[in-house]
Structures are given as structure tokens and as C-alpha cells.
A and B are shown apart, each in its own frame.
Chain A
């Protein structure tokens, strides 16, 4: 608990047997903190996790919109640490703030939704990478494009490898569909969530790959 070492003070027996803070109290106080933080403009990053056919996904949003979707293989604790470093340490678990995003992503995996109406925040991608990600949003549901074609589309036909890097570091996978970018020979290519996840998404969209 506390970090006072060594010679941590004795605890009087009066305080030893106190029951743990009950869950209901904890929830009430945390809900209030999220509410008040948001009202005061102090909730810079809100996050929650959802279950999906490709494993647990971490969703994080700023006031501007969805800023991060992270696969389990990316290690959610590490992802949150990096968000604290790169955006702001004012980060709270605030599921309500991500209800709309969670609903749209659920609908997508249920096959009920083909496009996302969510505002997104590209703060975590800069320059060429951001340009590529913006372009990816134009690849429709069930469509694919090659890394080379995207390089041409962003006006830099020789930057095929850089397109691959931009896709691999996409901070908002699923919603920004880097899974729809495949190799020129039609093979599936790499994916931030692993090749199996990429295959699952493409199959869901009616484009079985490989």
C-alpha cells in the first residue's frame, strides 16, 4: 500500500480489522469523479475495454474523439502508459464516455454496421502516417487495397514500405481500416492485431483472404 520503508509505523489494532471499502461505495465515488472531471474539463483521456471476436479491445477517447483502439497483444497496461506519456496523464476508466464507440464496434462485429460515424482523433499519428490513415478511411467495407495502391493514392508511389509502417502503427485499428490493406499479390500481409485478427475482419466483411 504505502511506500514508507523501512520502519513503517505500527498500525494500531484499532484500525487493523476495518472492513475493505465496499464495491458500491467505490463505484459511487468513481462515477462522481468521472462526472466532475468531465464537467471541469479535466478528463483528457477516457477509456474502457470491450470484448470482441478478436479478443479484448481497449478504447480510448479524447474530447475530440476516439484516439486509440488497442488489441490485447499490444498489452493494454503499456498502451495506457504510452497514452499518459504522449497525450496526458489525466486518464480515467470512464466506460460511459465510450458507450457510443463501443456500440458501433459491437454492431460492426455483429455484421450490422459497415461504416463508423464516430469522431476520431488522429493526435497519435503525424505527417505521412496521418496522411495514410486518412486515406484508409476511403477503402469501403469489404474492399481491399494494396500497400502500393495506397502509396500511389497519397502521391508517393515509392513509399510502399512507409505505407506498411503507417498501417502497422495505426492507433485506431478496426475503425480506421488498415486491415483492408493487403499485399499486391493478394496475400494478407501483416497486421497490428496479428494476422489471425486481420483474417477474421476480412472474413467478416466477406473477403476471405489467403
Chain B
């Protein structure tokens, strides 16, 4: 295990794409850029104090989670957007854009959304998801399963695996 931290540049290159997907999954494409930027700026600030050998991606997702909570609260204080959630039928596999999936995720309750994002997009085990969002590991697993089931109804018809 390394005793020194790698240059932060490496952190951005290695984990930037996954963290952006997590932000898109939790907040939607519109607010994801802001959340990603705030996450990496906060991470850069705290980076020198990170213990070498830590799980950097889990650390980043933890920071992103706090930013997502902040943004979700801020959003609740904002007037509702004019455009309703997309109601067009689920696109064919070929037509699927990730924007549609992220939009569909926005219809999920917050808890389901973050459970799906952290487990399926960030690849975190349910124990870590539970530690992050609160509640038991089983509750995290149920929230993610409910979220995926709801997504299948609103978004795609891919067979369950």
C-alpha cells in the first residue's frame, strides 16, 4: 500500500467519470455539473489530509452525497420547473440516451435514487451504501431493488437479471 498520495490529477482522471454518472443519477443531468465541480473542489481542499491507501472512490461518493443533499434541499426551495417530467414512451434500446435514464431516475424517491446510484452506478456494496445513506443493509438493498423495479416500468423493458 502506498505511503504517499498520488497527484490529485490522477484522482480526477480515474474517478471523474464515475462520480459524474453518480451525480447525474442522483440529481439529473442539469444539476450534475455543479455537483461534480463542488465535489472535486471540496475533495481537492481535503485531499492532503486523506490517508494514503484509502478507498478514494468511496470517499468521493461520500462528498458527492453531501453535495446532493445540499442541492436537493436548495431545489425544494426553488419554484417547480415548467417542464414536467418526460412522459414519452420508453425508447428502443438503440435510441436510449443516458439523459433519458437520468431523467427517469429523477422520478424516484430520494432514498431509492441514491441507493440505485451508489450500488449500481458507483459499484458500492450495500453495507457501504447503508453506511452512507443511513438505515440497515437490507433497507439499502430493498430501496435499490424498488428503484430498479420502478425504473423498469417508467424507462426500459430490459428483462430482469
Contact = CB atoms under 8 A, between A and B. Distances in A.
Interface of A: 1-4, 7-15, 17-21, 25-26, 28-30, 32-33, 36-37, 40, 42, 45, 47, 80-81, 83-85, 88-93
B45 A40 contact: yes
Task: With a 10 A CB-CB cut-off, give which of A7, A83, A85 has the most chain B CB atoms.
Answer: A85
Contact of B125 (A7, A25, A93): A7
A71 B44 CA distance: 27
B28 to A, nearest CB: 15
Q: Chain B: interface secondary structure?
A: helix
Given A10-B161, A14-B151, A40-B45, A25 B20 contact: yes
A14 B123 contact: no
Contact of A37 (B21, B41, B120): B41
A36 B155 contact: no
Given A3-B55, A4-B125, A36-B41, A13 B161 contact: yes
A82 B44 CA distance: 18
B148 interface: yes
B6 A84 contact: yes
B142 to A, nearest CB: 15
A19 to B, nearest CB: 6
A36 B40 CA distance: 10
B8 A12 contact: no
B7 A91 contact: yes
Given A20-B17, A26-B16, A90 B101 contact: no
A4 B124 contact: yes
A14 B144 CA distance: 13
Given A3-B55, A90-B44, 19 more contacts: A1-B57, A1-B123, A2-B124, A3-B57, A15-B101, A17-B93, A33-B40, A33-B44, A40-B45, A42-B44, A80-B7, A81-B6, A81-B7, A83-B7, A84-B4, A89-B5, A89-B47, A90-B48, A91-B9
A29 B36 contact: yes
Closest 10 CB pairs of A and B: A91-B7, A89-B5, A2-B123, A21-B17, A85-B4, A84-B7, A18-B98, A80-B7, A13-B158, A12-B120
A19 B97 CA distance: 8
A3 B20 CA distance: 17
A197 B148 CA distance: 60
Nearest to B96: A17
Given A9-B119, A89-B7, A2 B57 contact: yes
Contacts of A11: 120, 123
A14 to B, nearest CB: 6
17 contacts: A1-B123, A4-B125, A9-B119, A11-B123, A13-B159, A14-B158, A19-B97, A29-B20, A30-B12, A33-B37, A33-B40, A33-B41, A47-B9, A84-B7, A89-B7, A90-B47, A92-B7
A92 B4 contact: no
A170 B116 CA distance: 52
